[in-house]
Amino acid sequence: STRTEPIELAQVPGTSVWWPPSSSSAGAQHPGVLVAAFQAPLSFVNADRFKRGLADLIDARSEDVKLVVLEASNIVEIDYTAAQALIETIRH
């Protein structure tokens, strides 16, 4: 959980499912929308990695990102340091 990175998800064609893209199925992305997942609780241990990783995903998109959707089912806990990192990420 300390080395988890945010990952960008892509929509599985013909479904409402979002999944990490693979070489066998690239999936679809929507202009201006970034859907990302983080697979661990957020804490002081990984807060900076979360913040930098999500900012890198946003900045790597060729177009302006207007909406970020965070698939947060595995973020079962957020401590104070991680909450501050989340606030800084929202500002970004």
Model pLDDT for residues 55-89, shown as the tens digit of each residue = 999 999 878 899 999 999 989 999 999 999 999 99
* C-beta of residue 24 within 8 angstroms of C-beta of residue 70: no
Look up residue 36 and give its DSSP letter: E
* Tens digits of residue pLDDT in 30-46: 889 999 999 899 999 99
What's the mean pLDDT in 19-35? 81
With a CB cutoff of 8 Å and minimum separation 6, the contacts of 6 are 36, 37, 38, 50, 53, 54, 57
